[in-house]
Amino acid sequence: MYIWEDKTWPYFSLDAKVIKPRLKNVLALQKQLTGKAKDLPTGLDKQAEMDALIQDAIKTSQIEGETLNVSSVRSSVAKHLGLDQAGLAPGNHQSENLIAMLCSATDNLDQPINQQLLCEWQAALFPEPSIIRNLAIGELRGEAPMQVTSQMGNREIIHFEAPPKKRLQQELDEFIDWFNLAQPMNLAQPMNKNVEMHGIVRAAVTHLWLITIHPFEDGNGRVTRAITDRALAQDEKTSIRFYSLSAVIESNRTAYYEILENTQNCKTKMQQDGSATNITEWVNWFLEIVALAMQYGLQRIERVVDKTRFWQTHSQTVLSEQQIKVLNRLLDSAGDEFIDGISAKKYQGIANVSKATATRHLTELVTKACLIQLPGGGRSTRYAINTEFK
């Protein structure tokens, strides 16, 4: 049985005692993140927001198996936030649309959502018509059963089937009405009346509910993560995002699909022991992921501050345009793209220079104390930011 087939759907229930410890941890991290963000020097809040938005765009697409051009995303984010685009390649249509959609999700938080807005978000994900299949863009899915499947050899495995088309409009209307009326700190239907629905718990319910309805032929995951971000932003009462939920979900993709499938198929322990719409285990997992996202957000803010200090230290250092470009890339991506440092080959690709020039530039950056050489040598030689400026 799927969760939406239960007679109590969508009147969810959960055990508040079970989720309380993780919710308490999330709230402590939320307070810490908010405090750090307020203490950022003027202008650095935009840099931190830019970093989080870039991660969100790239990772929400990677979850669906799509790889975006990092440079195009960076350019689109800078343009949208009104930041300096000097030295950045122009964004493409795909990245421009995606960034506009993600920002729309967390803008005008007091305004209610509607079906048209969700359809516009889904349409933004597909700026060009598919040449492979006839995809419904900017409208609800058709009559064909909506199934989440995978292939194992010659056998197709059905992981989940969404409510049929004949129920879709009613299901979506009910979700939208609930989202617009549910107040984060109040007792709200269709939650169990004995459960106090905190704003972060509301975000967890939002995510599970919409992804279960699966209103579109494609793009459901990205639209769901966008409206989940909106629920979190409403709880925090700010459109500025300093952490990326999508980035942590992507890093824990296997666990995400497992808990989602188990909950949608009523296979969690608490569902089997009690009500099919008991979503305690899903909410508990979601809280753990939000906590991780906030921890990374704290690290991201520190990274932005470190970048500013680095350039203050090297304000008089003579560097080429290519060297500045690579250093900024390293400072922006520390801990992610260049976890093992940067090689001459990678430098060559980013700076668009010859191999000999890349090697010479890297040697100069070490001499000027911008980089340090990591252990190892020969073709495997790698370099990292010199953190002595801290």
Domain residues of the chain, as ranges? Answer: 3-304, 314-389
What pLDDT is stored for residue 340 in this prediction? Answer: 80
What pLDDT is stored for residue 150 in this prediction? Answer: 82
The ranges of the chain with pLDDT < 50 are 184-190, 192-195, 334-335
Q: Which residue in 16, 64, 75, 33 sits closest to 300, CA to CA?
A: 33
Give one DSSP letter per residue of 195-213, joined into a string. S---HHHHHHHHHHHHHHH
* Amino acid letter, residue 256: Y
Tokens coding 120: 């516009």
Give one DSSP letter per residue of 232-244, joined into a string. HHHHHT-S---S-
Bridge partners (DSSP) of residue 149 are 158
What is the rounded distance in angstroms from the CA atom of residue 203 to the CA atom of residue 201? 5
Q: What angle do CA 184, 228, 180 make, to 5 degrees?
A: 50
Backbone angles phi, psi at 87, to 5 degrees: 80, 0
Query: Tens digits of per-residue pLDDT, 356-386?
Result: 999 999 999 999 999 999 987 777 789 999 9
Beta-carbon count within 10 A of 153 CB: 6
Bridge partners (DSSP) of residue 383 are 342, 373
Cβ burial, residue 79 (10 Å; 0-12/13-18/19+) = middle
Q: What angle do CA 18, 19, 24 make, to 5 degrees?
A: 125
End-to-end Cα distance, the chain: 56
- DSSP structure class, residue 45: H
- DSSP structure class, residue 142: -
Question: In the CATH hierarchy, which fold is given to the domain comprising 314-389?
Answer: Arc Repressor Mutant, subunit A (1.10.10)
What is the rounded distance in angstroms from the CA atom of residue 141 to the CA atom of residue 122? 11
Whether the predicted model's global pTM rises above the 0.75 cut = yes
Cα dihedral 33/38/43/49 (nearest 10)? 30
Q: Which alpha helices (DSSP H) does the chain contain, by range?
A: 16-38, 44-62, 70-81, 93-106, 115-124, 165-181, 199-213, 220-236, 245-251, 253-264, 269-273, 280-313, 321-333, 344-351, 355-367
What pLDDT is stored for residue 336 in this prediction? Answer: 56
**Which CATH code of 1.10.3720.10, 3.90.1150.170, 3.60.9.10, 1.10.3290.10 fits the domain covering 3-304?**
1.10.3290.10
